Amino acid sequence: MNLDHVERDEGGLSWMDDEGLSATPKPLAQIRMVRTLEQELALIERVCTGETRLFYELISPYKRSVYVAAFSVLQNEADAEEVAQEAFLKAFANLSSFRREAKFSTWLIQIAVNEARTKRRKDRKALYESTDETDPEEEEGDYCPKDLADWRETPAETLQRTELRRALRNAIASLHPAHREVFMMRDVENLSIAETAEVLEISPALVKTRLLRARLKLRDALAPGIDGAWSVCDGSWKKVRPW
């Protein structure tokens, strides 16, 4: 993923004024960047009754979530974008069946995950990557974290550095698909344990098991120690070995 050419989302917010959802963004002083559950349900109702033009406005706050859900399964930008587009079309086609007591965002993410898994199954790459629900590693007992150096620095500033973000993405990509999907839903999409279980159609206990393993493996991959530390070298941040 090229971080120099990325699109920021609206952080889960939508352009609104006192008259409801507006077709075009208004100056900041004139808008309230909020959308209540009631307003979202009203918007869904309007789309269901024929106001198709409002669909993009409805799903706009969730573009990133749906894209990330597809990416978590496919690990390819182009494939994730294609699947995200198809997931939104599928959501439109099935909007009338959306259960109002569920969270719209979770419903969208679940569609995206299912679409992405379908594509992965069709993809030849699936021949080389297990997608089984059962992960043999989970039957081998506890995962023992490596004895690495302490990593107490607050990572907020270091995340500004492209190198660390790239290392983080690579480490996530190297996880077993079953662990990666759980980690992405829980820690990137910020779904709850129950929502993650619902989206991935596994038990909450299995979510916790896979989440633990994913987090510990990522810590092992990224913490200073065996593979060096994050330091400033020649004006840029690089992972350097201690020897």
In this structure, the number of other CB atoms found within 10 A of the CB of residue 32 comes to 11
Instruction: Give the DSSP letter of residue 164.
Output: H
Answer for which of 215, 228, 237, 239 binds other proteins (CB under 8 A) is 215
Work out whether 138 is an interface residue with other proteins (CB under 8 A): no
List of long-range contacts for 156-163, beta carbons under 8 Å, 24+ apart: 158/230, 158/237, 161/230, 161/236, 161/237, 162/3, 163/230, 163/236, 163/237, 163/238, 163/239
User: Considering only residues 76-95, where is the footprint of other proteins by CB under 8 A?
Assistant: 77, 81, 84-85, 88-89, 92
Check residue 101 for interaction with other proteins (CB under 8 A). no
Q: In angstroms, what is the C-alpha Rg of the chain? A: 20
**Position among 148, 202, 229, 240 found at the interface with other proteins (CB under 8 A):** 148
Report the b/e string of 99-126 with b at 16+ CB within 10 A. eeeeebbbbbbbbbbbbbbebbeeeeee
Pick from 22, 39, 60, 76 the residue near other proteins by CB under 8 A: 60
> Which residues, 193 to 212, sit near other proteins by CB under 8 A?
193, 208, 211-212
- Rounded Cα distance between 96 and 45, Å, is 8
58 lines the binding site for other proteins (CB under 8 A) = no
Query: Of 119, 110, 111, 114, nearest to 74 (Cα)?
Result: 119
Q: How many residues bind other proteins (CB under 8 A)?
A: 58
Q: Which stretch binds other proteins (CB under 8 A): 6-14, 107-115, 116-124, 173-181?
A: 6-14
**Binding residues for other proteins (CB under 8 A):** 1, 3, 5-9, 52-53, 55-56, 60, 63-64, 67-68, 71, 77, 81, 84-85, 88-89, 92, 142-145, 147-156, 159, 164-165, 168-169, 172, 183, 187-188, 190, 193, 208, 211-212, 215-216, 218-219, 222-223
